[in-house]
A = this chain, B = another copy of it.
C-alpha cells in the first residue's frame, strides 16, 4: 500500500554486500590477531566522533560496518589476543560467531512457546547435565553468565528453605532469619545475590579459606552450628570450583556431606573452573560437584563462546519452576499451536523475553567437540604450571600462590624492595604491559601483596607466550626501578 514504510532495505544486494565485506574484514582480523597489540587506548578523536545527538536520519549500513571495522574493532578489550591473561575472559571462536549471527537472523524469543529454538536450548541443557552427571530430570537455563545463574540458584534455595511462602509474604514476615555460607575467596556475585534477594550481605557468612585458598570446612561446620544455636536458619553453602584469585577448588565432597547432614542447599560457583571436569588431569579435584543442588558456570570463559552465555543447572525442577513461574493471561499456554511447548523457559528465570544465546553454544560444542576443549583446558593449566616454573627459577620474581589450575599469581621483587614499594611497582608493571600492548594480565591482592595475575583461559596462547611475559615483566620491573 502506498506510503507504508518498513525497515527492510529497498536494495537487498547492498545490505548483502555490507555483510560479506564485514565478514571478510573480521575474519582477517581474527586470523592476524597475534600481530596486533593486545590492547591499545581508544583514541580521543574517535570517542569524540561517537558523541552525537540521537540519529534522526538514515545512514548507510555499509559505511557503519566499515566504521566499526576500522575505528572500533582495533580498540577491543583484547581478550581475543593470545597474550590476554586478564581477569577470566574467553577468547571467542568462529563457530560461536556463526551461531550468534544465525540467531540474530532468526530473531527468536526464547521466553517460551513452541518453535525450533526451544529444542536447541533444551538440548544444550541436556548436554550440560551430562557433563556434570546431573539427573536428566534436572532443570536449567542458559543465562547471561554465572552471576545471573547464581542469583537464580540462590533464589530457589531461599524459597525452598524459607520456612514459609516467602514469594508471597516476603522475608520480613518469615519466622527466622536466613543465613548462608561461602569462603572468603568466593566471588563477589554471591554477596551481590544475597543483597539482591533481600537477605543482606551480612547474612552471607564468609568462612576463612585455608592455606590453599580453599574453604575451611571445619570452620564452616562450626559456623553453621553457632548460627543455629543463635536462632538463625542456615539455608545454603556456595562452594567455589575455581576461585578468581588463585583458581582454588573447594573440597566439594566434604561440603556435599556437610550440606546433606545439615540439610542445606549446596550451590557450586564453577564459573570457569567447573569445566575442568572435562580434563582427565583435573576432574578428580571436582569430585562432589555431581552432589550439588545447583551449579552455575559460563560458556563464555573456558568454552570460548562469544559473550555472553552462562548456565544454571538445578536438580529440583519443581522448586526451580515455582520460583519463577507466574505467567499472565496473555501468556497462557495451549496444547497446540505456537502457544504450546510447555514448560516455557520464562518460568525458570527472571526474564520473559530471552534471546537465542543457546545457538552459539550449540554451534561451539558441535563444531569442536568436548575432546578438543579437554585438551585446551589441560593446555592452559600446563601453561600456568610452566609459567610458575619460570617464575620460581627467576631470582627477580616470586610466586604468591600455588598454581592449582590455570592462574599464576606472582610478582616482581628485584632485590631488597620495601613491601609498599613493591605493591606500587607491580601495579605499574601491569599497567605498562597493557599500555605497551605486550600482554594483558590483571592485578589482584594475595595476603596483602599486589600480584601480577596471569589467568589463562585462552585457546590462542602458546607456551612461548609464558617466556615472553616473564622476560617482559623483568624488563619493565628493572625499567621502573631506574625511573
Contact = CB atoms under 8 A, between A and B. Distances in A.
A363 B19 CA distance: 13
Given A16-B24, A58-B372, A198 B197 contact: yes
A377 to B, nearest CB: 10
Interface residues of A, number: 182
Interface stretch (A2-10, A215-223, A397-405, A472-480): A2-10
A73 interface: yes
Contacts of A463: 1, 4
B77 A442 contact: no
A338 B77 CA distance: 7
A351 B72 contact: no
A82 to B, nearest CB: 9
A38 to B, nearest CB: 8
B50 A123 contact: yes
A443 B199 CA distance: 38
A281 to B, nearest CB: 15
What copy number does this chain have within its complex? 2
Interface string A114-127: 11110110010011
Contact of A353 (B144, B354, B371, B445): B144
Interface in A415-460: 427, 430-432, 434-435, 440, 442-445, 453, 459-460
Interface string A184-195: 000111011111
Contacts of A151: 350
A22 interface: yes
B8 A30 contact: yes
Given A50-B123, A87-B331, 8 more contacts: A5-B372, A55-B127, A55-B369, A96-B104, A101-B101, A173-B177, A308-B354, A337-B430
